[in-house]
Each structure stands twice: as structure tokens, then as C-alpha cells.
Amino acid sequence: MADLLEPKEITVTTMAGAEKTYTISKFPAITGRFIVANYSFSSLPKVGDYAANETTMFKLMAFVGVTPASGSMLLLKTPELINNHVPDWETLAKIEFEMMRYNTSFFDKGKVFAFFKDTVQPYLASALPTLTRSLGPLLRAAKQNMENSNPK
């Protein structure tokens, strides 16, 4: 089945209420390590990096297939294929979630919260002092910019 590891069919309900079938699969080990390591952190609000998250999403979606009427599975390896076969952003998010759940043991049954507690909290704890030290100079600069922009 198009060189997919342990393929599994899923049905996703789109925002319009239609049901679409996709074939998801396991990641190869090294690619899976990259995707799991980058996917979680790059999507954190105010800390993450959207470009990195988007790159990771494209890697993830390369292991998702659709089978059109022709019967030959297409892997969603390009932005054009994703946009042609995934009708909306919410459906894409559901597919991404199902891929992460299928490829990890910690996205199921609430284990994701333990994963984030063990991995994200130490990162935030180390970043917080730096952010706090930066806050004073940033506030002073913002105040100065506001004072300079007010007509007198």
C-alpha cells in the first residue's frame, strides 16, 4: 500500500459534515523522531515557530494517503495534494491529531498532558527567567515609543 508502514484507514468528518476516508500510517523511526520532537514544541503559542510547525506538518502528511476513484493511492506529499484532498483546516488538524495519536503512546487517554508536563514545563521553567529579565527593558522601550508617537 504505497510503502506505508502499518497503514490504517480512518474516517474524518469535515467542517461541512461530509465524511472522508484517509489512510494513515506509522512513521519510520528517524522521521518519526523528527516529527514528534518538532511538532509538539513548534506549535506552542508565543513560544513555537509556525514555519517549523508547517514544515513538520508537511513531513507528517507525507505518510497520509487518499485513494481516489482511480484506485491508486496518493500520498499527500505536497501542499497542492493536501489542499486538493483535505477540504478545510479543521479536517487537516483532525488528520494530524490522528497521526500523532497513531504514532505515539502519549497522545491517547490523556497521556499527552503528562508528556507536556514532563517535556514542556522544564523548557518553560528555563525560559521564564530570561523572559522576565527582558520584560523591564521591553516595557521601557514600549513606553518611550508611545511617548515619542504622541503629538504634543
Q: Which three cell numbers stand for residue 13?
A: 468528518
- Can you read off the three cell numbers belonging to residue 4? 506505508
User: Nearest to residue 63, comparing CAs of 89, 39, 87, 90?
Assistant: 39
Mean of per-residue pLDDT scores for the chain: 82
Q: Are residues 97 and 118 in the same domain?
A: no
pTM: 0.67
| 134 and 100 housed in the same domain | no
Structure-model confidence comparison of residues 125 and 115, the more confident one: 125
Predicted confidence (pLDDT) at residue 3 exceeds the cutoff of 90: no
Q: Are residues 70 and 142 in the same domain?
A: no
pLDDT value, residue 140? 78
Q: Tell whether 48 and 89 lie within a shared domain.
A: yes
Query: Is 74 in the same domain as 98?
Result: yes
DSSP code of residue 44: S
Helix, coil or strand: residue 67: coil
In angstroms, what CA-CA distances link 30 with 38, 90, 115?
12, 28, 20
Q: Which three cell numbers stand for residue 79?
A: 501542499
| Domain shared by 66 and 86, yes or no | yes
**Alpha-carbon dihedral angle through residues 136, 142, 144, 150, given to the nearest 10 degrees:** -150
- Higher pLDDT, residue 119 or 21: 21
Overall domain count for the chain: 2
Residues 71 and 115 in one domain: no
In this prediction, residues 85-111 reach a mean pLDDT of 86
- Name the DSSP letter for residue 3: T
Same domain as 42, residue 15? yes
Do residues 65 and 131 share a domain? no
Count Cβ neighbours within 10 Å for each residue of 31-55 and write b for 16 or more, e otherwise: ebebbbebbbbbbeeeeeeeeebee
Q: CA 18, 21, 23: angle at the middle one, nearest 5?
A: 155
Do 93 and 116 lie in a common domain? no
| Domain co-membership, 100 together with 117 | no
Instruction: Give the structural domain span for 144.
Output: 110-152
| pLDDT digit string, tens, across residues 4-53 | 999 999 999 999 999 999 999 999 999 998 888 887 766 666 666 778 88
